[in-house]
Structures are given as structure tokens and as C-alpha cells.
Amino acid sequence: MTVDQTAATPPPVGTPVPPPARTGATSGLLRAGARGAAWLGMSQVLSKLTVALTTIVLARLLAPEEFGLVALSLVLIVYAEAVADAGVAQALIYLPRSRAVARAAMLCSLVAGLLLVTVVVAGAPLIASFFGRPDMTPLVRLLAFSLLTASLGAVPEALLRRELLFHRVSVATVLRTLATGLVSVSLAFAGHGAWALAWGTVAGSATYAVAGWLLLDDRPDLALWRTTRQDVRAVLGYGLPVAGSSLLARLIFDIDYLVVGRIAGAVALGYYTLAFRLPELVILNVFYVLTAVVFPLYSRMRDDPARLREGYLFSVRVFSLYGVCAGAGLAVAAPLVVPVLFGDQWDAAVVPLVALSIYTALRAVGGGGATEIYKALGRPSVSVYLSLIRLAVLVPALLLAARWWGMEGVAWAQVATSFAFALLMQGVAAHVLELRWRDIAAAIAPALPTGAAIVVVGLLLSRLPLPPAAALAVVVAGGAATAVAVLSLVSPSLVRQLRDVVARRRTAPSPEPAAASRPE
């Protein structure tokens, strides 16, 4: 049963796209978004530097098979984690806040977490048997407890994001990363192998949940026995479709691990996992920061179609520009990055790294905040339908590629399918918002010549007769300088807009206050 969302339905979007000039309200929300992105960005920089350092150390201490064994154990658990809170985190951001809604969200999240832990612990031998690795069973059972901590941490995180308190989310994020890194590295040095990664994952998840509750000032009412069926229906009516969309998205974006692990084995998955780690750190985590910021902002704009369209096009420009530039640079630098950072024993990860860098760039172009638009408009089912279509195409493509060309084939199949679905995602978003294709194309356009220039300059610089570490530094510096120079030439207006948002965020007024809580 779904909650009545008539009041949340936005007015028709039939007016043309407004000119570039921004209203004061839109500018204020953009600056609020810039503040949020800055805080989350700073936490991501600190966290991902820690993760990068941890990965480098662990790559020197652990064998590819040990990386692969933990990756196999996590393959099915990450699917369960996508629905660990039954979608209540997004419901808390979308629905008007009240003590009753927060209490119902807490109850639903707790029950979902407990059920999932029970199912995964009981089903661990079946998961291990699926991959033909009985030694996975205890690892799966340990990692299952991260599902409970994820569900318990979802409510405080959502409440902090709803109030745009991204600096507190940032603190929790950094603490999680530090806990994960310290536990993993300490146990790896002690010779615990794959268990080091597993215990680090659980410790980080538990730390994040505890930090979220401690950083939340206005905590929900924990008298869960007072929760009514009507409150539960309201939360689940919005949350379950979102959880379904999240599960499908996780299936789409992690199905490659399942395919590689099942067909190519743990060693190949170890190489593939390490290859994916860098695009994830450099591109996808920035992508997640931006989407975490734009959903609350879109939700506040949903009753103003012109502002919503304007905000969406701006997010497409930013997502595309960063994704293409970072993906192009990482693909060019891949033959230098792997031996310099991880050692020659990981050379088999170079080709997958090139392909996965391009793939993550296309994900940034195709995403651009589209999924958050559907959720903000109260139409999360749009994402579900798109995900089902994508999954129906992706699974057979990856299976065929894995059987014919192994993990490298899987990586390049990801590139091919992500290109097609980048076009589909932006096409549907344009239809929903009644944008013209040329508006979307104009938003993406500055990224293309900038990324192409990075590739050309990077390839030329990588041929210089320098030691690998020095060559890598030159390629990175040259690519960054090229990006700034080319973007300033092809889209000076975007440079000015970005500079304006960043420069003014510090002096911008506080975000508009949240609506007063409704009586129970």
C-alpha cells in the first residue's frame, strides 16, 4: 500500500527553459549546495586519501586471492545493504518531518536490519557454495553484521542530510574511514590475511552508526511501541520503491563482481577489485557526494519547475565535467599508476583500470542527478523501470564477455553498456523535466573537448624518458593544467559560474529553515 502523495506532486512543467540568469532563491540553494558539497568534499578528500594509503599498504601485504576472497564475500552482502533500511532514509528526507515519521522510520530500519542479518548468517554456506569456496562461510557471517549497523546508522544520517548539516555527516564519514583503515592495516600486519579486510569493514560500519547518533542533536523518539500502522505505511509507501530502486542500482553497478567471481574466480576478482578501487576513489565517491547534496536541494525546488530545471542542468554540467576529466586522466595514467602504487605483481589490473576509468566517466555523464530528480518529484518508480531495462541488457552482456574474454572483457562490456544507458538516462530526465535535447547536450558539451585534450597531453607526457614515479607526477600535473586551460577557452561562462558559487558560499546566508515539525 502506498501513501497518498497528491500534495507532493509538482505542477506541470510546460514552460521553456529559463535564461541563464538565476533567481536569488535558486542562487541561495546553489550556494547551500556548494557548502554541503564543500564539507562532504573535504571529508571525501581526507577519507579517500586514507583509503588510498590503506589500499597501497594492503596491496603490499595481501595477495590478490585474499582481496578476491573478501570481494566474493561482499558481493551478495552489498545487495542486502542496499535495502538494509527499507528505504526509510530517503523517506525521511522527502516526507514532512514529524516525531511519528522519524519513530516509524527507526522501527522499519531496525526490523529490516535484523531480518537481513538473520537471513545472511543462515544462508552463508549457500553463498560460499555458489562460488565454490567453502572458506568464505565465516567471512560472510562476520560481514553480515555490517548490515545491522548500516540500518541503525541510516536514520541519523538522513536527518542530518535533511537539515543540510553536511559538516556533521563529514565527521562521521572520516571517522568510519579511519576505523576501517586502522583495523584493516593492523590485522594485516599481524598476518590475519582476508580477515583483516573483513574486520575493518565491520568496524568502519559500526563507527559510522555510532558517530551519526552522537552528532544528531534532535534525536528521534525511541518509544517504538507507539508507532502506528499509518505511520509505517507512510514511510514504507515512499521508502520501499526507493529501496527497490537502490537494490536494482546496486545489482547493476556490482553485478560485474558477481560475474567475475563466479566465472573467472577469486584471483581474477582480486585484480578486478583493485582496478575498480581507483575509479571508485577518484570519480564515483565524488559522484556520491554530489548526489547526496542535490537530492535535498531538488526536494526543496520541486514546486518550482523552472528552478528545478535550472538546478538539474547545472548538476549535469558539473557531473559531466568532473567525470570525463577524471576518467580520461586516470585511463591515460593507468600503466603508470598500477606499478608505482601497488607493485608489479598487480600488472594484470592495468587493462581493467583503463576500461573502468572510462566506464565511471560515462556513469557520471549518464547520472547527472537524474535518479534524484525522480525521487524529488515523488516518482522513484521511474528509476525502477529504467534499472530493470538496464539489468536485462547488462547481465547477458557481462556473462558473454566474461566467458569469452575474462575480467578484461567484463570491464569493456561495462563501457559499451554504460554509453548506451547514459543516453537513455538523460533522455528520460529531459522528458520528465520537459527539457530539450540541445539543453542536455549543451550542459555536457564543455566536458568533451576538455577530456579529449587531457588524453592527448597525457599520452604525450607519458612517453617522456622519466622514471615511472616522476612520469606519473608529470602526467597528473600536465593533465590538470590542460583541463583548466581548455575549459577556460571552451566555456568561460561555466568557469565563472563555478567560481561564483565557490566564492560566495562562505558569505551566503544559512539555508532556509526546515518546516516546523507536525504534531503527532
Q: How many Å separate Cα 467 from the centre of its chain?
A: 35
CA-CA distance, 218 to 222, in Å (whole number)? 12
Cell matching residue 242: 526507493
CA angle 352, 354, 355 (to 5 degrees): 65
For 406-421, b/e burial (b = at least 16 CB within 10 A) is bbbbbbbbbbbbbeeb
Which helix (H) or strand (E) segment holds residue 456: the answer is helix 447-462
Report how far apart the first and last C-alpha atoms of the chain are (Å, whole number).
21
Query: Which stretches within 62-98 are classed as H helix?
Result: 64-82, 88-94
CA-CA distance, 122 to 97, in Å (whole number)? 37
CA-CA distance, 470 to 333, in Å (whole number)? 12
HEC profile of 341-401: HHCHHHHHHHHHHHHHHHHHHHHHHHHCCHHHHHHHCCCCHHHHHHHHHHHHHHHHHHHHH
Q: Hey, CA dihedral for 477, 483, 489, 493, is it positive or negative?
A: negative
CB 113 within 8 A of CB 84: yes
Model confidence pLDDT, tens digit, residues 460-509 = 999 999 999 999 999 999 999 999 999 999 888 887 877 776 565 444 43
Strands (E), 102-168: none
Residue 409 φ/ψ, nearest 5 degrees: -65, -40
pLDDT in tens, the chain (520 residues): 333 333 333 333 333 334 344 444 445 555 555 555 555 556 656 666 777 778 788 887 888 888 788 887 877 777 777 666 667 777 777 777 777 878 888 888 888 889 889 999 999 998 888 888 888 899 999 999 888 888 888 888 888 877 777 778 888 888 988 899 899 999 998 988 889 989 998 999 999 999 999 988 877 777 777 777 887 887 777 777 777 777 777 777 788 988 998 898 888 988 998 899 889 888 887 777 677 667 667 777 777 888 888 888 888 888 899 999 999 999 999 999 999 988 888 999 999 999 999 999 998 888 767 777 877 777 767 877 888 888 899 999 999 999 999 999 999 999 999 999 988 988 888 888 889 889 999 999 999 999 999 999 999 999 999 999 999 999 999 999 999 999 999 888 887 877 776 565 444 433 333 333 333 3
